[in-house]
Structure 1
Amino acid sequence: MPRGARFVFTDAFYHVFNRGINKQPIFISEPDYQFFLRKLNDLKNKYDHSLYAFCLMPNHFHISIQTRKVPISKIMASLGTSYSMYFNRKYEHFGPVFQNRFKSILIENDSYFLKLSQYIYLNPVKANLAKNPLDY
Structure 2
Amino acid sequence: MPRRNRLIIPEVPLHIIQRGNNRLPCFFVQADYLVYLDLLRIAAEQASCSVHAYVLMTNHIHLLISPESCSSPAVMMKSLGERYVQYVNRRHQRIGTLWQGRYRSCLVQDEKYFFVCQRYIELNPVRAGMVAHPLDYRWSSYQANAYGEADNIVKPHALYSALGAEQSERECNYRALFQEEMPQAMLEQVRKATNGNAVLGSEEFIAQMAIASATDVMPRRQGRHRD
User: In 2, Cα distance between the equivalents of 1:18 and 1:35?
Assistant: 17
What SS does the corresponding residue of 2:105 show, helix, strand or coil? strand
Displacement, 1:65? 0.5
What is the match of residue 19 of structure 2? 19
Displacement, 1:22? 1.0
Preserved CA contact (<8 Å) 2:17 2:104: yes
User: In 1, Cα distance between the equivalents of 2:72 and 2:45?
Assistant: 15
What is the match of residue 74 of structure 2? 73
Worse-matched range after superposition: 28-37 or 88-97: 88-97
Structure whose residues are more often strand by fraction:
1
User: In 2, Cα distance between the equivalents of 1:7 and 1:118?
Assistant: 22
What SS does the corresponding residue of 1:81 show, helix, strand or coil? helix
The one-letter code matched in structure 1 to 2:37 is L
What SS does the corresponding residue of 1:18 show, helix, strand or coil? strand
Displacement, 1:44? 2.7
Structure 1 runs not aligned, ≥5 long: none
Normalised by the size of structure 1, how large is the TM-score? 0.91
Preserved CA contact (<8 Å) 2:48 2:72: no
What is the match of residue 117 of structure 1? 118
What is the match of residue 98 of structure 1? 99
1:48-67 matches, within 5 Å, as 48-67=48-67
User: In 2, Cα distance between the equivalents of 1:3 and 1:33?
Assistant: 31
The one-letter code matched in structure 1 to 2:73 is I
Taking only the aligned residue pairs, the percentage that are identical comes to 35
Worse-matched range after superposition: 86-95 or 126-135: 86-95
The one-letter code matched in structure 2 to 1:25 is P
The one-letter code matched in structure 2 to 1:75 is M
The one-letter code matched in structure 1 to 2:133 is N
The one-letter code matched in structure 1 to 2:85 is S
Structure 2 runs not aligned, ≥5 long: 138-227
Displacement, 1:100? 1.2
User: In 2, Cα distance between the equivalents of 1:118 and 1:133?
Assistant: 10
What SS does the corresponding residue of 1:43 show, helix, strand or coil? helix
Displacement, 1:4? 5.0
Worse-matched range after superposition: 39-48 or 125-134: 39-48
Displacement, 1:2? 6.7
What is the match of residue 31 of structure 2? 31
Normalised by the size of structure 2, how large is the TM-score? 0.56
The one-letter code matched in structure 1 to 2:95 is F
User: In 1, Cα distance between the equivalents of 2:5 and 2:126?
Assistant: 34
What is the match of residue 145 of structure 2? none
What SS does the corresponding residue of 2:123 show, helix, strand or coil? helix
The one-letter code matched in structure 2 to 1:82 is R
Displacement, 1:11? 2.0
What SS does the corresponding residue of 1:104 show, helix, strand or coil? strand
Q: Which has the bigger relative contact order, CA under 8 A and spacing at least 6?
A: 1
What SS does the corresponding residue of 1:41 show, helix, strand or coil? helix
